[in-house]
Amino acid sequence: MLDVVRRGRIRRWRKFFWFKMRNKIFNPKTALLQYGIREVVELAQKLGEADPRFQFIGENIGDPVAKGWNVPRFIKEILADLITKNNGVYGYAHSRGILTSRQWVADCSKKLCPSSRLDPEHVFFTNGLGAAISLLYRTLKPGARIIQPHPGYPAHISNEKFSAGGNSIGYRSIPENGWSPDLDHLESQLKKHPEIAGILLINPNNPTGAVYDESVLQHIVGLAERYRLMLISDEVYFRLVFNKTDYVHLTELAAGRVPLVVMRGMSKDIPWPGGRCGWLEFHNIGLDRNFMSYFESLKKPLLLEVCAATLPQAAAPLIYESPLYAQWLKQYTQELEQISNDIADILGAVPGLKVRPIQGAFYLMALFEDGLLNRRQSLPIKNKRVKEIISRAASVKQFPLDKRFAYYLLASTGICVVPASDFSSPWPGFRVTTLDRDPVHRKNTYRKLAQAIGKYLASA
């Protein structure tokens, strides 16, 4: 009877695939769109389906709300007031953003950077920085490339690769120097690749937690001047800086020197990641006609998208200008500092692992010492089906060694980290979020992780 049912299913599938469309619609370039931070969640879902006792511990996604951070009461009151008293937040906004909110962005830029001359007409609001990232790359002239930090943020890297139809062009960061950019490598890449039109910086950095000092930023501005490039600075974490680190604004250093796009948003430092509100600031537009044309071209796809979500745009100025926000931010960053240092202490004590305290954002990248990983290592997995899933996934040809570790870790302990290779890292390792607000749960998680690393490295 089962054979009859199977044959019937096969016939139905064959009939389905006999229909052949006259034009191909699949774009093979979509293989370049990779986002390991969330792709690993799909693997975790499969493991949960295979083993009802599987318990997921997500250290992969930078969502403060999911890690115990309640949205402050004053923010909820601002939102409640807007929702009940301002009927306009239910309607469309201007395609480039509410004018008063764009004016607020321009005013903030001038407060932070006295040299800023940002015009509110040169500010675009988007549905989160994810939409902004896609917008920037898909409107580039075919063949123009943006050099990426390696390791770097997968959304930037994947969108740039998809736009270009090729591998990422990157510049290394130096782990031993606090993950500061390798400026010699950056310049060598600029010489090697004349198709590069811009340099991306992520500061504070995701995935490394680095914050760049003034001398590094000055050097990069100098390179942009020398090679006639624009700069793109992703600064969504710029308010989240700690461990006695100063934040230097690229806007101030680049003023009157090079075209600059600054990317910011309100998903991480309020926190309200589900609000999906980001914005782009275009500085020094008058320096270059080509940059001006690029800026003008971005208005076209924004019109097609109609507008970004209205409510968070209207709320942003009210939230950030509230005197209660400064008080909350101070407490937030102090606690993030303590959490990140606690995690760095635990992982830093693991033999074979290289770890440095972070300076900003809420991510930490740990690296394995050279030669420690191999394809014979594993961790015990009790459930047979789960073990089969992991063995099959890790048996793929040229499967990265750090990804293999991350998969076995997930299946054995439930702890989900993101392999460094998913951030185009030249070195094997993994990235974790430093957000878990529950000290007992956090300590248990990272002690369990530390023990698992030791067992994995010793297994073969």
16, pLDDT greater than 70: no
State the burial class of residue 1 (Cβ atoms within 10 Å of its Cβ: 0-12, 13-18, 19+).
Answer: exposed
Q: At what angle do helices 310-320 and 99-112 cross, to 10 degrees?
A: 40
Mean residue pLDDT of the chain comes to 93
**pLDDT given for residue 2 in this prediction:** 47
Using the CB atoms, write b or e for 185-204: b if 16+ within 10 Å. ebbebbeeeeebbbbbbbbb
What span, in angstroms and rounded, lies between the C-alpha atoms of 344 and 339? 9
**Taking residues 34-60, what's their average pLDDT?**
86
Instruction: Name which of 393, 390, 406, 419 is nearest 449 in CA terms.
Output: 406
387-to-37, 291, 394, 411, 422 alpha-carbon distances in Å: 22, 53, 11, 7, 22
Listed residue (227, 256, 212) closest to 147, CA to CA? 227
Task: Give the mean model confidence (pLDDT) for residues 225-245.
Answer: 97
Sheet of 145-150: strands edge to edge? 123-126, 278-283, 260-265, 230-234, 196-202, 145-150, 170-174, 180-181
Query: How far does CA 150 lie from the centroid of its chain?
Result: 13
pLDDT of residue 29: 78
Better-predicted residue by pLDDT, 37 or 434 = 434
Q: Please give the full DSSP string across 30-99, using - where no structure is assigned.
A: GGG---HHHHHHHHHHHHHHH-TT---EE-SS--TGGGT-PPPHHHHHHHHHHHHH-GGGGS---TT--H
Cα 135 versus chain centre, distance:
16
- Please choose, from the candidates 207, 217, 172, the residue with its C-alpha nearest in 3D space to the C-alpha of residue 360: 207
And the tokens for 94? Answer: 């201007």
**Average pLDDT of span 272-277:** 90
Question: Which residue reads 């580039």 in tokens?
Answer: 140
Q: Which of 27-31, 319-323, 450-454 is predicted with the least confidence, judged by mean pLDDT?
A: 27-31
Tally of CB atoms within 10 A around 51? 18
375/395 Cα distance (integer angstroms): 9
User: Residue 389 is encoded by which pair of tokens?
Assistant: 């899933």
> 162-192, pLDDT tens digit by residue?
999 989 999 999 999 999 999 999 999 999 9
**Preceding amide of 317 cis, omega within 30:** no
- Please, how many CA atoms are within 13 Å of residue 29, restricted to the half-sphere of its CB? 12
Instruction: Pick the range with the lowest mean pLDDT from 38-52, 130-144, 219-233, 288-302.
Output: 38-52
Q: Answer positive or negative: Cα dihedral of 167, 168, 170, 173.
A: negative
Q: Residue ranges of the alpha helices (H) in 92-249?
A: 99-112, 128-138, 154-164, 183-192, 214-227
Torsion angle, alpha carbons of 8, 13, 18, 24, to 10: 180
Asked whether the whole model's pTM tops 0.85, one would answer yes
Instruction: Give percent above pLDDT 90 in the chain.
Output: 85
Rounded CA separation 230/13 (Å): 51
CA–CA distance, 302 with 149 (Å, rounded to integer) = 27
Give residue 455's Cα distance to chain centre.
30
Q: For position 31, what pLDDT does the model report?
A: 77
Whole-angstrom distance between the N-terminal and C-terminal Cα of the chain? 46
Residue 425: HSE in the Cβ half-sphere, 13 Å Cα cutoff: 26
Would you place residue 21 in the very low, low, confident or very high pLDDT band (cuts 50, 70, 90)?
confident
- Is residue 268 within 8 A of residue 62, CB to CB? The reply is yes
Contact yes or no for 362/240 (Cβ under 8 A): yes
| Position 36 pLDDT exceeds 80 | no
Say which residue, 303 or 423, is predicted with more confidence. Answer: 423
pLDDT band at residue 41, thresholds of 50, 70 and 90?
Answer: confident
